[in-house]
Chain A
Amino acid sequence: MKYSSQAVAKLYFIAAIGLFVGQILFGLVMGLQYVWGDFLFPAIPFNVARMVHTNLLIVWLLFGFMGAAYYLVPEEAERELHSPFLARLLFWVFLVAGALTILGYLLVPYARLAELTMNDLLPTMGREFLEQPTITKIGIVIVALGFLYNIGMTILAGRKTVVNLVLLTGLVGLAVFFLFSFYVPDNLVLDKYFWWWVVHLWVEGVWELILGSILAFVLIKITGVDREVIEKWLYVIIAMTLITGIIGTGHHFYWIGTPEYWQWWGSVFSAMEPIPFFMMTVFAFNMVNRRRREHPNRAAMLWALGTAVMAFLGAGVWGFLHTLAPVNYYTHGTQVTAAHGHMAFYGAYVMIVLTVISYAMPIMRGQEASDRRSQVMEMWSFWLMTVSMVFITLFLTGAGVLQVWMQRYTDVPQSFMVVQQKIEIFYWLRELAGLVFLVGLVLYVISFFVKGGEPARAADTADTA
């Protein structure tokens, strides 16, 4: 670790992993509720479990992004973080606010939570992924502003690398587009239209800048490839991301009361959205093949390559599967969407956070890389989680295709609940795959505490490369 203030990232990473475990446990509860309808009913109805599952995901990814920024921004800027104290303070504010919100979901009925948090003053609750009470949303904005100030001051005062500037652009975009979560018009069409300005412009827009810059940073570190080369790739990838992804928002405007020209704009541009993900895969493998050193952290390299591949499959391929308007007419809001959502979030955002944790955590704990046995266990967890996520996606896709076949693309459509029972086997298999995912996650957590094996060593092979 070059600068002692980078160590604040450790807090953020630990919290991220802890919340990740919670997210998966609630995912398993929901998966079980799909086949065992009254499981935990009425104590934890499905909608509550889902809020906890998705909100924990968002919060732990934000912890991961912030941790990544606190770690890599000082190193790139070649100076200490502007205020490590502010970083630690905001950590506790965010963690307490997040924990209280989750407890609120679990302990009181949602309508009561709305009442307790005075949702009437500025109603923003009850929209998918943005279920947080208004007061929590305001808290998120304050934390984001403090965070951006801290990161921004560090970047402005130091060396301005492409990685830092792209990361900062992504983080500023994240904060700016979140502001649309406060706009909740009575008009359902406008509500939905601008809701996507948060959700789509996050995950298919500015978050990809964050993803790209973190990946570029880790690849610079573990491959030793010339920064100029990596930065050029980064520019091209994020250029394609925004060129395709901004108008690609149109693939959400097919059936919500918006003009029908969006079926063309959305189909054409979102059909190109896999391109930047494909480039990211080519980029990652290229850089690793051209590496100028053998970094002892094999696990981090595995995560980096895995991110590139899984983001392409989940966001790129599974997104393309149902993005063309004539296809989406039948698949919209089915399990096909759920399949895509799972692999895209895992492949792009979960894996990039685990990549930077894998790279940075050993360094913050005083080693260049973890001991061999620890890395072996971490790589086992990589394969268990990744392969089980592939199966979760395949089973949900199977469920979705059958759902479309029986409920939508037919002359004799059957009702939603009848179809759900007929595709039950896929939900059981998905739950089974989810349990394997949990085993992988437990191994992942344990891997931080495993020691021994040959000590990891750096072997500089620049001369043999």
Chain B
Amino acid sequence: MSEVFTKSMARNIYYGGSMFFFLLFLALTFDTMGEVPKRDNHEALTAQVALGKKVWEENDCIGCHTLLGEGAYFAPELGNVYKRFGNSTDAIVAFIKGRPANGIPGRRSMPQFNLSDEELEAVAAFLKYASEINSANWPPNIQG
């Protein structure tokens, strides 16, 4: 770089630029916080859903699955699993409950987490809640 462009100019671009864009990011975040309640399905956020989220977290479900596309890529997307399972929390409960403890020979299988009935219902309710968040029409189809 030529002598016309000095180190102090570079430094000012760094300080000014990063400060400006960080403040812009904060402003956008502030606006986002105002907009999110229109899309986030918070009306459905019951105590049961909150418990379901905790069950989801304390069994590290994100270690295999994606949820709204984020997580691991080893097992199916669950952001829309409620819809994929025919809008049925019972189907979700039955699936989780029915996993064989020793897996399926040669194939990927979900572990048996030995959840209580209350936890099973809660995690299914959480997945129903997640499926009703307005995710800008993502995923593209029912297969997730």
Contact = CB atoms under 8 A, between A and B. Distances in A.
B106 A233 contact: no
Contacts of B25: 246-247, 249
A253 B61 CA distance: 21
B144 A416 contact: yes
A125 B58 contact: yes
A275 to B, nearest CB: 12
B64 A192 contact: no
A136 B1 CA distance: 46
A47 B39 contact: no
A260 B136 CA distance: 7
Interface string A87-113: 000000000000000000000001100
B36 A258 contact: yes
Given A128-B71, A247-B28, A249-B25, A111 B58 contact: yes
A192 B56 CA distance: 14
Contact of A259 (B17, B36, B67): B36
A223 interface: no
A452 interface: no
Contacts of A246: 18, 21-22, 24-25
Interface string B133-144: 111101111111
Interface residues of A, number: 78
Contacts of A225: none
Nearest to A110: B60
Contacts of B35: 258-259
Nearest to B47: A186
Nearest to B107: A37
Interface in B24-44: 24-25, 28-29, 31-32, 35-36, 39-42
Interface residues of B, number: 75
A182 to B, nearest CB: 14
Contact of A257 (B49, B57, B74, B135): B135
Given A192-B68, A233-B1, A409-B140, A258 B13 contact: no
Contacts of B101: 42
B109 interface: yes
Interface in A176-233: 184, 186-193, 228-229, 231-233
Q: Is the interface of A mostly helix, strand, loop or mixed?
A: helix
B131 to A, nearest CB: 11
A346 B38 CA distance: 40
A413 interface: yes
A260 B109 CA distance: 36
B98 interface: no
B1 A232 contact: yes
A46 B70 contact: no
Given A187-B42, A257-B40, A407-B143, A236 B13 contact: yes
Interface string A111-147: 1001000010001011110010000000000000000
Contacts of B63: 45-48, 50-51, 110, 128, 131
Interface in B108-144: 108-109, 111-113, 129-130, 133-136, 138-144
Interface in A241-272: 242-243, 246-247, 249-250, 252-260, 262-263, 265
A439 to B, nearest CB: 25
A460 interface: no
Contacts of A33: 74, 108
A46 B72 CA distance: 10
B73 A338 contact: yes
A154 interface: no
Given A253-B32, A258-B36, 10 more contacts: A46-B108, A47-B62, A111-B58, A128-B71, A186-B45, A188-B67, A243-B17, A255-B138, A259-B36, A332-B139
13 contacts: A110-B58, A111-B113, A126-B56, A128-B70, A128-B71, A162-B7, A190-B36, A229-B1, A236-B14, A238-B14, A257-B40, A408-B143, A416-B76
